[in-house]
Structure 1
Amino acid sequence: MTEPARPIRVLLADDEAMVRHGVRLILRHADGIDVVAEAADGHQAVDAAAAHRPDVALVDIRMPVCDGLSAIAPLLALDPAPRVVMLSTFGDEDNVVRALGEGASGFLLKDEGPQELISAVRAAAAGDAVLSPGVTGSVIARMLRGGGSGLARSAVGDERIARLTSREREVLVMLGEGLSNHDIAERLGIGIGTVKTHVGAILDKTGSASRVQAALLAHRAGLVS
């Protein structure tokens, strides 16, 4: 008999107890997800992660003592390191670009729905990048202006898009919309493993170094409005 998969272990870090309570309630009703620890600031988050070894850390940006952005590096220095997803009521470009630059796996706005939060946790645990659609727009806007990573200065030609199959092109558009692998799989009615194969092919064929860079390509090629 096949043993059931180990639940995804989650750490919640937010200085507002009511927010932590709300997120915990949402995740409690999701199959295969356990909230194993909570923290009220960045220092507590790092200590809790070291003690409880979560797979995913949901970390608020604005916290006293040590904010979420400052906690990213020490969280990622742990062994094993959790996948860090930033939570915020703010989706401004500076916070998004800095969080991704520090190594966060994603950025999720707090006004996203319960299913989006659950999908984000599962996607992060699976190694996917997680970006709210609105946040993706901020990243793309910043990069198109040539800020931050410099990806907007890379050459983009129609021949890159021409290398893709029709299904890979569909998936590229969804990357541009900020969808996770889980969301893409549900929309197309295919397995997550198949989506990962398509994403890998897209990155290889277009010479994109990341999902965000592929999303940028989709925008610059006019595939996403």
Structure 2
Amino acid sequence: MRKKIEKIAIVLAAGILLAVTHFYVTFLTPPSSERAVKTVRIERGMSFRVIAETLEREGIVRDADTLGFAARILGASKKVKAGEYEFTTDMTPFEVLDSLVKGRIKRYSVTLPEGYNIKEMAAALDAAGLVKAEVFIARALDPELAASLGVEGPTLEGYLFPDTYEFTKGLSADEMISRMVSKFKKVYSEFEDEAREEGLSMRKVVTPRPDHREGDRAPLRGKL
């Protein structure tokens, strides 16, 4: 009886060892030694099971079940950030899971040159596939949005700071606009006292005169 129990214990121990070995080898080994880039979009509300199956189908992980089990063990299945990700097939499942949890979402760089108006900015963002031009224009011209962002004037014309931005797909027009206005305010704050000394409001600084005679506001507009 004792020998029988010992045999059962040995078999169970061997089985557990094999299972653990399989798990770690699978979880810490990439599906391919060749490097191929894959882009995957994780939608809000997507279950981890669907995420894992999508990654397996795209060849990013070898086994969806192993990834799902690891995510549950690590408490990561509910911490995945939605967005568009760029993976490579030489990443281990652990690295893939780490990227999902930390939200290493693919970013798109877009340059909005100095002198661009709202329509030109909208066209550049649309060309980058980040937002529909008509949606961006409508939001940038919305008086309520302008008021909520604390700027002077009925629209955001002049308050969208020209710069090179990195946006992720899925951001709303409001979120992009908010970042651009925040950048404007940060830069403007450096010259706000100077503007007050010249008797110029924020609105006057950013709005060109109809007759094109800038006067005292020209140096400030140049700095912005």
TM-score by length of 2: 0.23
